[in-house]
Amino acid sequence: GAGVSQSPSNKVTEKGKDVELRCDPISGHTALYWYRQRLGQGLEFLIYFQGNSAPDKSGLPSDRFSAERTGESVSTLTIQRTQQEDSAVYLCASSLGGAIGTQYFGPGTRLLVL
Amino acid sequence: RKEVEQDPGPFNVPEGATVAFNCTYSNSASQSFFWYRQDCRKEPKLLMSVYSSGNEDGRFTAQLNRASQYISLLIRDSKLSDSATYLCVVNQDTGRRALTFGSGTRLQVQP
């Protein structure tokens, strides 16, 4: 079946502009996660959605970052007033609610802020 | 101290070699442990979970030492296709279900 998809695959933007990244999880997966991976670094947790529960936003680095999810489907991550340090790969993952370890990742969106 | 620490490598080994990666984690309340594999410019994929009693999947063996807060991955009979970055991953049981990733250990298997 279809895996996690993300769009766009690459995004180049100018400092100060807003960007919106999209994630389509695997159908039926109730949990959705956003991570950020800077070049040569590990993954940083950003935000987690589980069903209709309030999202865990504890990983968002600043109030310029926000995310939404409609039900148990698509999620968008928005970065306002982008900065050069926001340049990274943004990875989305989804999992069945009870399977913490089996997170399936999308291919990521490579964001470059000039 | 980082929450999950790994030797970044790279580990350069010949085909057929046995190689071991180590990982330490800081939170003694951590509940779940995994190894993920990430190929260059690709997304991470689950390689295997790590169980308290240790577990094996083909050429791969994972061990957990809770007392020392230490996880290991052993790869036997290395293949060229094993070349990748291996990520040590921990669920820290902080009430959220996201995972904490180490920075990864890069393995390069050479012919």
Q: Do A101 and B32 touch (CB under 8 A)?
A: yes
pLDDT at B93: 61
Q: Do A101 and B34 touch (CB under 8 A)?
A: yes
- Residue B99, CB-side half-sphere exposure with 13 Å CA sphere: 31
- Distance between alpha carbon A104 and the CA centroid of its chain, in Å? 13
pLDDT at B94: 57
Show the low-confidence residues of chain B (pLDDT under 70).
1, 93-98
pLDDT digits (tens, 9 = 90+) for A5-21: 999 999 999 999 999 99
Q: How far is B106 from chain A (nearest CA, A)?
A: 10
Show the low-confidence residues of chain A (pLDDT under 50).
99
CA distances from A18 to A66, B34, B105 (A): 11, 35, 34
Q: Do A42 and B32 touch (CB under 8 A)?
A: no
* Mean of pLDDT over chain B: 91
pLDDT digits (tens, 9 = 90+) for B28-43: 888 889 999 999 989 9
Of A42, A58, A101, which is closest to B49 when you measure between CB atoms? A101
Identify the CA nearest to B26 among candidates B50, B1, B7. B1
